[in-house]
Amino acid sequence: MLAHTKRYALVETARSLNRTGLNQGTSGNISLRVENGFYITPSALAYDQCRPADIVELDMEGRVVVGTRKPSSEWRLHRDIYAHRNQAGAVLHAHPPWCTTLACLELSIPSYHYMVAIGGGDSIACAPYALFGTAELSANVLAAMDNDRCACLLAHHGMVCFSADLQSVVALALEIENLARIYGQAMQTGEKVPLLTRREMDQVRKRFAAYRSIGGQGE
């Protein structure tokens, strides 16, 4: 019953991605860590057609444990994040419009706004391009999410982020897409976008850490 509940939650969360504009069609994927592996959305199946039984369970070697469908082509990216970041309970990869726009320009999201620190650093880096589903892409993402970072853009591709659970990973992705949108709009003015200093961003990250320690989520 617990396994079905988790699969159902993953399906419902996946469906919400299209409603929120984080995703379109069958692009993107989302996963949830479970004991000895993770659940992930299947390949090439529209979320509105996806059922709990369609969710694929993989072990940490990438082998299918439960499921009859092919896992998302990005399963390796999810597996490698789980393998290297113990705090990752859910991983979300999507192609939201503004994040993807910056990614196609090979641009990071710099420290123009203090909320950029929600990604764990003083910027949200753009990982160099690599073919989807490859070990090279995973390596590029892990490098872009070094230290305490929990999100990055993927050059000519989209974005990826992780958090403790499904609810918080969607909230994080929505915040990053909003930050990408505002930065894109700011650049359209033709003015140089002023940035906060590393010291100022460090202060914000420390404040965010204090909020998390008492269960807080915002200002």
Which residue is catalytic, options 35, 74, 106, 175? 74
178 burial type by CB count under 10 A (0-12 exposed, 13-18 middle, 19+ buried): middle
Closest C-alpha to 7, from 42, 54, 44:
54
Question: Known catalytic residue: 74?
Answer: yes
Mention every residue, 6+ apart, whose C-beta is less than 8 A from residue 161.
91, 92, 119, 150, 151, 152, 169, 172, 173, 176
Task: Let me know the angle formed at the C-alpha of 75 by 97 and 86, rounded to the nearest 5 degrees.
Answer: 95
37 neighbors 58 (Cβ within 8 angstroms): yes
Just list the catalytic residues. Answer: 74
